[in-house]
Amino acid sequence: MTDSDLLSTINKIAVASGKLGVQIVELTGNLDSTTSQISEKSNRLREFDSISTKLQSVNADIGDAAKDISNSIGSASGKIEIADESIHDSIKSLSYLTSSAGGLGIQITTFKDSIEKVGSIAKKIGVIAKQTNLLALNATIEAVRAGERGKGFAVVADEVKTLSKQASDAAATIDKTLRDLDTITGRLMNKGQICAEQAEKFGSKTSEISSMSVHVKEMISSIKKVSKNISNSVDSIGRVTSDTAHQIGRLVDNAAETNKVIEQTKPELNKLLDNTQELVGLTAIDGIETLDTPYIGLAIELAQQAQNTFEECIRRGEITENEVFDFSYEKIPGTNPAQFSTPFIEITDTYFPEFQEEISKRLPNIVASCCCDINGYIGTHMKAVSQPQSDDPEWNAQHCRNRKMYDDPVGLKSAKNQAKFLLQIYRRDQGGGEFIIVKEATAPIYINGRHWGASRINFTT
């Protein structure tokens, strides 16, 4: 095999390894998304299961309430039947009272007419008594004239006179009594009229009461039917919710098992990705040009630029070496997502943008050109993603990527790498739930022989 053939083979291996790495990263990303979705759905299912359990409890309460209502209605129905009989008897009594009140009025009127007739007769008796008294007086006079022969007649005349007086007194007494009775009967007639009117009103009310009693019985019957329907519906809902809860439980268990399998698969995929990236790194050896070689060269150049800048600033006294290696991070108040400040941020903000931006334009498909410290902190990023923060955290995540800690596995691996270069493939979080597959070429940054961090060149494939 000639050198040309060897280089061609190595290039093919590099391309194939790169494609394999991209596919593994995409697969890993899809698994992450799937795991996240399954976890979210599992949480939703658990919430639904909790709601279903509450629904079962509420449904049981409704069932108990329906039974209580049914029992209460049964009891009320019996009482209403008794009350209905009482109402019916009362209605009969009221009807009898109404009839009696009307009859009493008629009897009082008849009695008053009789009193008037008796009064008329009493007056005639009084007239007869006066006439009899007058005759007795004349008889007495004639008896006196007759002398001895009229004595017997005089006795009779006296008796007639006495009888006449008694008859007159009796007639007067009867007249007074009749006047008193007339007054009383007048009052009775007034009372009777009032009673008749009240009885008539009661008569109209009794029909209303009777109608209401029928209506109440009909309502009770309707409520019984509704209560029975509720009980039947509660039973049906109970069966459905029980089956649903069982199905949800199975879904949650299945989701947990799926997540477990995925989690067990991830380490193997990560090992495969590491091996693939190692293979890609092996193809990018000195003297062999691959598709990734130019980007690796830019990463090495960017690291050298950062090293020269820091060492020159230390030499000029703009910053001390201790300040360069002071990895204390002070959170900037009011930032979301959180941003941090460091003692060396002023130097990187002053000098790094010029060469970071210039290197990012050298080759196509570069999406980031920046430097991080040994803990993954990127103080100064590219200008396009170093905007002042707004009130929208999602917008900030996409447009304010400076002054942030990138201590994810890829970020830390790049930051702590001390080999000449490192080539990785990963899903870059763009914010807002968006990801892109990128390769990252990185080279270590040394300041006066001390490892400070790394350059990072991100590019799409």
**Residue ranges per structural domain of the chain:** 36-248, 291-459
For domain 36-248, give the CATH number. 1.10.287.950
Token code pair at residue 100: 């009696």
Interval 322-373: pLDDT, tens: 999 999 999 999 999 999 999 999 999 999 999 999 999 999 999 999 999 9
Residue 38, pLDDT score: 76
For domain 291-459, give the CATH number. 3.30.450.20
Residue 363, pLDDT score: 97
Q: Which is higher by pLDDT, 203 or 368?
A: 368
Distance CA 8, CA 14 (A): 10
pTM recorded for the entire structure: 0.55
Provide CB contacts within 8 A for 420, sequence distance 6+: 300, 443, 444
Distance CA 180, CA 62 (A): 73
Average pLDDT on 130-138 reads 74
Residue 397 has pLDDT above 70, yes or no: yes
Q: How confident is the model at residue 87 (pLDDT cuts 50, 70, 90)?
A: low
Interval 283-302: pLDDT, tens: 666 566 788 999 999 999 99
Calculate what percentage of the chain has a pLDDT beyond 70. 67
Token code pair at residue 71: 């029992």
Q: At what angle do helices 3-146 and 151-283 cross, to 10 degrees?
A: 180
Look over the chain and give the mean of its residue pLDDT values, rounded to a whole number.
79
Token code pair at residue 318: 């703009």
Average pLDDT on 306-311 reads 98
Residue 188 has pLDDT above 80, yes or no: no
With H, G, I as helix, E, B as strand and everything else as coil, classify residue 441.
strand
**Which CA distances in Å does 433 have to 33, 43, 401?**
10, 19, 15
Residue of 427, 454, 439, 79 whose CA lies nearest to 300:
454
Distance CA 300, CA 293 (A): 11
**Which CA distances in Å does 176 have to 115, 172, 242, 413, 449?**
12, 6, 95, 135, 149
Q: How confident is the model at residue 103 (pLDDT cuts 50, 70, 90)?
A: low
Average pLDDT on 22-35 reads 66
Q: How confident is the model at residue 58 (pLDDT cuts 50, 70, 90)?
A: confident
Provide CB contacts within 8 A for 65, sequence distance 6+: none
The Cβ of residue 270 has, within 10 Å, a number of other Cβ atoms equal to 13
Residue of 131, 127, 129 whose CA lies nearest to 167:
129
Residue 7 has pLDDT above 90, yes or no: no
**Which CA distances in Å does 193 have to 98, 154, 181, 201, 418?**
11, 57, 18, 12, 122
